[in-house]
Structure 1
Amino acid sequence: MIDAHQHFWNFDPIRDAWITEDMGVIRKDFLPADLAPVLQANGITGCVAVQADQSEAETDFLLQLAAENPFVKGVVGWVDLKAVNVQERLAHYAQFPLLKGIRHIVQGEPDRNFLLREDFGRGIAALAAFGLTYDILIYPHQLPAAVEFVKKFPNQPMVLDHLAKPDFETGELKGWEQHIRALGKQQNVYCKLSGMVTEADIQHWKKEDFTPFLDVALEAFGPQRLMFGSDWPVCLLAADYAQVKDIVTDYISRLSAAEQAQIMGGNAIEFYKLA
């Protein structure tokens, strides 16, 4: 079993300003030594470390941790995809086989059509030559641009993080569902069943809150293009690791053993080309 989405950091209150005072439980360091026993307790054999800061220093930090900790099977890092020298930077990182993909924190961009920027598109087009995937991190209001975006790059492997963070608290599916189904029609696009508990009522969420959204994701992407991710340690704001995993394993228990195995690891291994 593979956790397709988690983070590490040495907490820095300035760099990590998104971790606000009320998030005390995650305002500290989280490193492989903290995660290893948690994965072991939950029967998870490996993970993919995903960037949380937009800097090459972050990419270097995660690659070093992956090199030192064999259970970290791959890294989704960051390079400036808008930069004129993006080819050069990607060529530099090509020497690190543990770098599997790139992510940009598009949810933090004020332009709802950021994904459609010409300079950003040039960076996305450069990924294929280096065999790198792209993680799409957005909010629901950015979904229309995402649908247009993925159609422009039909051969680029992409994965939607956190189901695009729908409103689990109100259960509002309209709009979100239409765009998720449109994304699912693009065979190069996968979806992570991750980051859900922190988008729900973090004090009072119930497993049933997620079911209508998971139904849409399963219909749109099928078991062949879904993957489990914990979003640890961010998930700790609302749930422990076992609770997060149980939301997914309980939901997919209706599927065949082979389909469950795909969602809980097989798809991540294939998508990220994990050893």
Structure 2
Amino acid sequence: MTVDAHHHLWDIDVRERPWIAGPEMEPLRRDFRPTDLAQALRGTQVDTTVLVQSATDPEEAPEMLVLADSASCIGGVVGWVDLSARAVRGQLADLLSHPAGRWLKGVRHPVAHEPDAEWLTRPEVSRGLAAVEDAGLLFELAVGPEQLPSAIKVVGDFPQLTFVLDHCGRPPIGGDLAGWESSVRRLAGHPNSVCKLAGLATAAGWGGKPEPAELLPCVEVLLDAFGPGRMMFGSDWPVCLLSASYREVLELTSELLGGLPQQDRMSIFDGTARQVYGL
């Protein structure tokens, strides 16, 4: 069986997402609902998924919990709360006490979109991360190379909090990987960090499925840094549709991991995510 540790759902009429802008994003400007997810999963080995936030709106997380309660394949939710708010502990408590609160596994903030590269190290954000830790949740690092240094610091500051690196830290595919690699290896040096092998289909650009040879150097760095036991597959559907279908993302990931022993492949496609998210 396979766990997809990273996908989204949304209803365009309910909530705008400013990041879905420009003509190149046209394929994403429609509703993506549980029925669409079920269609994407049909014929694959994926039996469990993790639904991840796509809007910085406090109303989205409760809606995601309701979706998880009604969709048999969704095994966990990673929502958004305002980490810098003084009321963050109350926000988390409200989500966990929601009738479907058992599905909440973690919190994510799109740090890569923050103009301050040191946003994660702000005192008020540190208070928010402490609240996430106390709530028994994990935190997902939606960061790029510019934010990785601050991510390394907070991962070290909170050794009891599990941090999940989203989208492999957005490696500069086709560019100079040295800075990204150095930061990723430092992050992986903290045992409370894990990595999602997700977002690679669009990492090299949109409009065409990337060649495995373009992505393999990044994957080799991640495998060496984190090891298969701290990596997990994510489709990044429906964002992946800008470059590849759901099935093509699965095939691409399988090809990139083709040289690994079966046990290691099983960890990345199944075991790690079940352990990290408690699925």
> Normalising by structure 2, what TM-score?
0.94
Q: Say yes or no: does 1:59 pair with 2:61.
A: yes
Residues 1:14 and 1:157: Cα distance change in structure 2 (over 3 Å): closer
Please say if 1:189 is aligned against 2:193: yes
How far is 1:246 from its partner? 1.6
Identical-residue share of aligned pairs (%): 40
The answer (yes or no) to whether the contact 1:171–1:209 under 8 Å persists in 2 is no
**Partners of 2:217 and 2:103 in 1: CA distance:** 35
Query: How far apart, CA to CA, are the structure 2 residues paired with 1:11 and 1:265?
Result: 31
Matched-pair contact (CA < 8 Å) for 1:8–1:49: yes
User: Tell me, what secondary structure is at the counterpart of 2:140?
Assistant: strand
Correspondence for 1:125 among 114, 126, 130: 130
Shift of 1:184: 0.7
C-alpha separation in 1, matches of 2:13 and 2:171: 28
Deviation of 1:129 (Å):
2.3
d(CA) in 2 for partners of 1:14, 1:273: 29
Q: Give yes or no for contact 1:104–1:137 (8 Å, CA) kept in 2.
A: yes
Gaps of 5+ in 2: none
- Matched position secondary structure for 1:56: coil
Find 2:217's aligned residue among 182, 206, 212. 212
CA distance in 2, matches of 1:61, 1:92: 13
2:227 aligned to which of 222, 226, 249: 222
Residue number in structure 2 paired with 1:198:
202
CA shift digits 1:97-145 (9 cap, x unpaired): 1000000111111000001001001110112222101000011111111
Aligned counterparts, 1:158-197, within 5 A: 158-168=163-173, 170-197=174-201
SS of 1:76's equivalent in the other structure is strand
TM-score (norm 1): 0.96
Residue 102 of structure 1 corresponds to which residue in structure 2? 107
User: Does the CA-based 8 Å contact 2:56-2:109 persist in structure 1?
Assistant: yes
Query: Is residue 258 of structure 2 the alignment partner of residue 253 of structure 1?
Result: yes
216-225 or 240-249, which moves further after superposition?
240-249
- Helix, strand or coil: the match of 2:18? coil
Give the Å deviation of 1:13: 9.7
Match of 1:114 in 2: 119
Aligned pairs, how many? 273
Work out whether residues 49 and 74 of structure 1, in 8 Å CA contact, stay in contact via their aligned partners in 2: yes
Q: Provide the residue aligned with 1:2 in structure 2.
A: 3
Unaligned runs of 5+ in 1: none
Partner amino acid, structure 1, of 2:181: E
Report the alpha carbon displacement of residue 149 of structure 1 after superposing the two structures with TM: 1.5
1:36 to 28, 38, 63: 38
User: How far 1:254 moved relative to its partner?
Assistant: 1.8
Structure 1 Cα separation of the partners of residues 184 and 14 of structure 2: 35
Structure 2 residue aligned with 1:71: 73
What residue in structure 2 maps to residue 235 of structure 1? 240
Aligned counterparts of 1:77 and 1:175: Cα–Cα separation in 2: 30
Amino acid at match of 2:93: A
Q: RMSD value over aligned CA atoms?
A: 1.3
Distance (whole Å) between structure 1 residues aligned to residue 258 and residue 215 of structure 2: 15
SS state of the match for residue 146, structure 2? helix
